């Protein structure tokens, strides 16, 4: 089965294409832009030009494919190389994530694509979506989801909702700061990190879910999640795989809330800390889900330790750690 992959040069896309290239049942065909950096794609993989903002540009790819995995998306701060894009970021995100997806689906239907797999995100899952959310990325992901759900499509489709994905081939270093923080500190306590919770999944679990979805018929929705872990548990796990050179003590919630937030507020007011005291007290929530949505991937999942170790080893292998 020939699978057209959009977003093939991104973090999940690269891992997916490398995996598909090793299988007998799937042959990847990667959609790339003129500006895409294609050096990290596996040797010998077929590429075809396409840009979600340019209607008509993905005809060739769709004509040659049997299935489509749609990963390409943008978020605030992505690709704002031109002044025009930076000025109208909201319009730019919508153009790629909603209009681009809509057009791609319509053209996929016309080209008799048999199966479409769309990668959404956990906060755009219809059961978890908060319609007061002020986040263009999540809003546009939800709108694209609804295009799929309410369309009368001739193809089978699946939507997948990963939580917070880490692992090898994070060439954009989107999740590197977690690891860098451990590497840079012998003692790691708030406010050196923001307390809160993370739900982490291995990028290979996401890839396995995408492959599973390619074989599904009908209409499907998959959550790809792990356990919810506190930030201190996550940092301690990173420290453990990084040879224990960094100590991450558990800090009581009351110390963080009462003791540290006035200090954080002062630092924030002087432009020395990214969030204010109230935000610090609430803490970060990255990919966290209600209990019934934990460990929900359809494929066998890697442990937090394995996930963190694979990411750590990869950052080391490319020389950034």
What residues make contact with ligand NAP under the rule CB under 6 A?
A: 6-13, 33, 35-36, 51-53, 71-74, 96, 119, 121, 162, 164-165, 172
Min dist CB 242 to ligand NAP, Å, is 21
Min dist CB 266 to ligand NAP, Å, is 32
Residue 144, beta-bridge partner list: none
Min dist CB 121 to ligand NAP, Å, is 4
Report d(CA 79, CA 38) in Å as an integer.
16
Report d(CA 190, CA 82) in Å as an integer.
37
Is 52:104 a contact under the CB 8 Å cutoff? yes
Is 203:12 a contact under the CB 8 Å cutoff? yes
Min dist CB 72 to ligand NAP, Å, is 3
Residue 197, beta-bridge partner list: 230, 285
* Beta-carbon contacts of residue 258 (< 8 Å; ≥ 6 apart): none
Min dist CB 164 to ligand NAP, Å, is 5
Q: Would you say 12 or 248 has its CB closer to ligand NAP?
A: 12
Q: Would you say 24 or 82 has its CB closer to ligand NAP?
A: 82
Closest residue by beta carbon to ligand NAP = 10
Q: Would you say 119 or 228 has its CB closer to ligand NAP?
A: 119
Min dist CB 131 to ligand NAP, Å, is 19
Min dist CB 9 to ligand NAP, Å, is 4
Cβ atoms within 10 Å of 242's Cβ, excluding its own = 18
Q: Would you say 179 or 273 has its CB closer to ligand NAP?
A: 179
Tokens in use for 113? 């694509």
Q: Would you say 64 or 266 has its CB closer to ligand NAP?
A: 64
The beta strands (E) that lie in the chain are given as 2-6, 27-32, 46-49, 67-70, 115-119, 156-162, 164-166, 196-202, 219-224, 228-230, 284-286
Min dist CB 229 to ligand NAP, Å, is 15
For residue 220, give the DSSP letter.
Answer: E
Q: Would you say 172 or 253 has its CB closer to ligand NAP?
A: 172
End-to-end Cα spacing for the chain: 39
Q: Would you say 121 or 136 has its CB closer to ligand NAP?
A: 121
Element (H, E) at 267: helix 261-269
Report d(CA 148, CA 72) in Å as an integer.
16
Q: Would you say 119 or 237 has its CB closer to ligand NAP?
A: 119
């Amino acid at each position: 089965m020939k699978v057209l992959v959009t977003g093939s040069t991104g973090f999940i896309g690269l891992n997916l294409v490398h995996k598909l290239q090793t299988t007998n049942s799937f042959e990847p065909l990667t959609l790339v832009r003129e500006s895409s950096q294609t050096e990290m794609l596996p040797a010998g993989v077929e590429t075809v030009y396409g840009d979600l903002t340019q209607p008509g540009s993905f005809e060739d790819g769709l004509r040659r494919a049997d299935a489509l995995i749609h990963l390409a998306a943008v978020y605030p701060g992505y690709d704002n190389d031109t002044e025009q894009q930076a000025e109208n970021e909201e319009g730019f995100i919508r153009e790629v994530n909603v209009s681009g997806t809509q057009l791609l689906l319509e053209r996929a239907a016309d080209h008799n694509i048999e199966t479409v797999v769309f990668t959404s995100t956990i906060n755009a899952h219809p059961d978890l979506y908060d319609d007061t959310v002020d986040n263009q990325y999540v809003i546009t992901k939800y709108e694209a989801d609804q295009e799929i759900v309410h369309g009368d499509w001739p193809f089978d489709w699946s939507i997948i909702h990963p939580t917070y994905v880490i692992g090898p081939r994070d060439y954009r270093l989107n999740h590197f700061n977690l690891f860098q923080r451990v590497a840079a500190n012998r003692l790691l306590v708030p406010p050196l990190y923001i307390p809160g919770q993370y739900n982490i999944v291995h990028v290979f679990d996401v890839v396995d879910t995408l492959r599973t979805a390619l074989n599904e018929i009908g209409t499907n929705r998959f959550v790809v999640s792990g356990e919810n872990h506190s930030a201190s548990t996550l940092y301690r796990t990173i420290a453990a795989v990084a040879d224990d050179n960094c100590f991450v003590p558990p800090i009581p919630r009351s110390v963080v809330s009462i003791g540290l937030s006035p200090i954080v507020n002062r630092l924030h007011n002087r432009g020395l800390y990214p969030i204010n005291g109230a935000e610090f007290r609430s803490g970060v929530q990255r990919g966290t889900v209600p209990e019934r949505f934990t460990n929900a991937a359809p494929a066998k999942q890697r442990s937090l330790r394995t996930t963190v170790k694979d990411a750590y080893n990869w950052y080391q292998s490319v020389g950034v750690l």
